[in-house]
Structure 1
Amino acid sequence: MTDDHPSEQATVLGLIADPDMPETIADRLAERLPEQLDGEWHVEVDADPVTATLKGTSEILEQTAHKCDAHGWTYAICITDLPVRSDDGPVVADIDHDRGVAVVSVPGMGGLQTPRRVHQVMRQVLDELRSEAEGRGEPGQVREQRRHGLSSKAIGLLAPIRRKAVETENSHLDVRYVTPGRRGRLRLLSGMVRTNRPWRLVFGLSRALAAAVATSAFGLSSSTIWMVGDQLNIGFKVLTTATVIAALVAWLIAAHDLWEKRGDTRSDPQLARLYNASTLLTLITGVVVLLTILFAVNFLIAWLILPASLLSSMLGSETGVGTYMAVAWAFTTLGGIAGALGSSLETDHAVRQAAYGYRESCRRAEYQEHEQEDGES
């Protein structure tokens, strides 16, 4: 939240953000937006975990409107990591002109340059809200020309963002920005993976990492492991590495029940498939990062500790950088298998926190609680 107090002439914008990545983006916007908007603006950030439990943009818009009135803001926009689907395609933003509020879905921006895309959409949403409030446009009018980079060739090639007028019963929603078609779904999927921040998996799975490092250290002292790494051809090494990655990912999913049940009637079947795909890609990316770091550490340790003369005498061949890489690969593969076993010692809560963003972690915890209650009843 900004420190200074707004003057009476200032337009006050409230940014309600889910904890984690949306909050980080909101803090950046609070610093940059006032300088880029016409007139005097004051931006306040409210990181609210309450909105993270809401399940749709209609509910979020309602809660955002209540907060806007309670705080006395001119406009309020909720930045959420909730993936939203509609008949027209994945939703980027929903706007309620009447109450001066909107919700922006971060996953709908895709996995590349996410903060920049959110910034562009926020500028467009504010233009929408201000034009209606100042009588400079009709909310139902489809505007073909979008500003702030939303109509750029790059966005049009990846997944064009379309403006749709919406008429819904019992809802104030009247304008929606979507990314239609297959490219829009792929963009939403990449955004879901980006929101999960899969690289955090490395440090979130402490027991799995400890098991992998300990086993790699054992492999360092085994000349048999050196020979295996040196003798196997590149094709077999690639196949073995892929098998280790698949085993670790499958173990995590099975041991901690991370797979979305398609038979769950509370879930949209297509959204359930998206959740499963994002889980799979998140875990694969996180495991690849883990093994890459482990390989780099093993290579450095082997280079510093194992003399070239010792390796040459044991392997019966000249020792070079390739030899050390082969030996480090063997340590890493062995460590990866141990990491899969060590991951079963992690709690479900720890794995969800490591693999997902705040909202998705809460959603899966809630779903697991419902399953346990259903099993007990």
Structure 2
Amino acid sequence: MTGAVPGPAGPAVVVRLGVLLAGDVPAGPDVTAGPDVPDVPGEPPPADLASRLTAELGAAYPGLSWEVEVVREELGEAEEDESLDLLEYTRDRMLDEGWDLAVGLCGEPLRQGKHTLTRQVSPAHSSAVVSLELAGTSPRQAVVAAVAGILGLDPDDAQPPAAHLRGAVHAARQLATDVEERGGENEVTYGWRVATSNLRLLLATIRANRPWTLAASLSRSLSAALATGALTLITTDLWLLSAEYNGLQMALVAVVAIVSVTVALVVGAKLWEKPRRRGEREQSMVFNLATVVSVVIGVSVLHVALFLAALAGSLLLVDPEVFGSVTGEPAQFTEYLKLAWFVGGLATIGSALGAGLEEGDDVRAAIFTRGSS
């Protein structure tokens, strides 16, 4: 988090960027690189890399002033640690150093499960890691592309639309601007002030997370939901309940379903971040707000999908005469809608069991990151 410096057109927001160079990343002729790191003709040493990045990012994002710090250190064992581990290490260093964004560069390919990735970008973490071996670019180009991804731009788009660029500039400004601390303020009030002060950033982060794809990425939760839906659809006792429930009761079932799965995912995958020191409080709050909203949206999309699947199943499989004889209600379309709404809610609750079985890394990867192979 930073303040502002004077500029020709008024104060410019200073954005602090940290770049971590792993030991196997060529950085040009520099004594800190170590004797085993080959020199690359035309590539600047870390000091020159920082100055070139400062100038290039300043030109790319008008109205922002960049402070770039390039640090040579190991990100972990790239051959053993998965890309999310390296990403979380990069974020930890960002918080330790007080940077606003951080990019880690390694020479080895990134691995996440069975996948080999060129980069892993997380707007929610304000961080990214890049494999230079697979990216096929210089460290400078890799950092510029990663920063674009963190700020919500397409890293492969050399000329982003003006509206997208303005959104990226707003996101960077909010990352670099502190919310005033007030003594004795509770977390709810502070969270509200952080949310309203960082609204553009939160919306951009949530959009970049693409939470609507969450359900498709979590196979255990989806399997548990579909199995629960199939069982409840053919249980005649539940037909009776759906016929008796009113709209308010149905809405309550939906809310309970969405909240239960959200809690299961957040708690089970340890998605809630606690600040280790007061200076990290705002970044952690932004991260947690974006996380919870992303999960709620993802689970809500799952709930709607299960409702539609239950509606199709009820229309195809539930005989109108049998339904009428069981419930005492005529098998009209509104009754099928109520049944599908009820079954969809129960199926969503059933997905909470599958959420508890999901690997934490799978959940974090589905919510936070956008890897490219």
| TM-score, length of structure 1 as denominator length | 0.53
Shift of 1:183: 6.3
Determine the structure 1 residue equivalent to 2:243: 230
Question: Is the Cα–Cα contact under 8 Å of residues 81 and 105 in structure 1 kept in the other structure?
Answer: no
Shift of 1:203: 2.0
C-alpha distance in structure 1 between counterparts of 2:103 and 2:172, whole Å: 21
C-alpha distance in structure 1 between counterparts of 2:271 and 2:120, whole Å: 25
Matches within 5 A, 1:355-370: 355-358=367-370
The answer on 1:194 being equivalent to 2:200 is no
Residue from 328, 341, 345 that aligns with 2:357: 345
Residue from 267, 289, 292 that aligns with 1:280: 292
Matches within 5 A, 1:191-270: 191-262=204-275, 264-265=276-277, 268-270=280-282
Q: Does the C-alpha gap of structure 1 residues 80 and 298 become closer, same or farther in structure 2, counting only changes over 3 Å?
A: closer
Q: What RMSD, in angstroms, separates the aligned Cα atoms of the two structures?
A: 4.0
C-alpha distance in structure 2 between counterparts of 1:356 and 1:149, whole Å: 24
Question: Is the Cα–Cα contact under 8 Å of residues 159 and 183 in structure 1 kept in the other structure?
Answer: no
Matches within 5 A, 1:286-297: 286-297=298-309
The answer on 1:317 being equivalent to 2:360 is no
How many corresponding residue pairs?
A: 237
C-alpha distance in structure 1 between counterparts of 2:355 and 2:288, whole Å: 19
- What per-residue deviation string (whole Å, max 9, x for no partner) do you get for residues 239-292 of structure 1? 221111111111111222111013x23972101001111110111111111111
C-alpha distance in structure 2 between counterparts of 1:186 and 1:81, whole Å: 18
Matches within 5 A, 1:1-377: 54-55=90-91, 81-82=122-123, 102=144, 104-109=147-152, 115=154, 123=159, 148-149=162-163, 185-262=198-275, 264-265=276-277, 268-358=280-370
Runs (5+) with no aligned partner, structure 2: 1-82, 108-118, 127-139, 174-193
Q: Residue 268 of structure 1: SS of its match in structure 2?
A: helix
Question: Is the Cα–Cα contact under 8 Å of residues 159 and 184 in structure 1 kept in the other structure?
Answer: no
C-alpha distance in structure 2 between counterparts of 1:228 and 1:205, whole Å: 30
Question: Is the Cα–Cα contact under 8 Å of residues 226 and 327 in structure 1 kept in the other structure?
Answer: yes
Question: Is the Cα–Cα contact under 8 Å of residues 264 and 352 in structure 2 kept in the other structure?
Answer: yes
- What per-residue deviation string (whole Å, max 9, x for no partner) do you get for residues 28-51 of structure 1? xxxxxxxxxxxxxxxxxxxxx799
| TM-score, length of structure 2 as denominator length | 0.53
C-alpha distance in structure 1 between counterparts of 2:268 and 2:104, whole Å: 38
C-alpha distance in structure 1 between counterparts of 2:165 and 2:206, whole Å: 24
Identity of aligned residues (%): 25
C-alpha distance in structure 1 between counterparts of 2:327 and 2:104, whole Å: 69
C-alpha distance in structure 1 between counterparts of 2:246 and 2:254, whole Å: 12
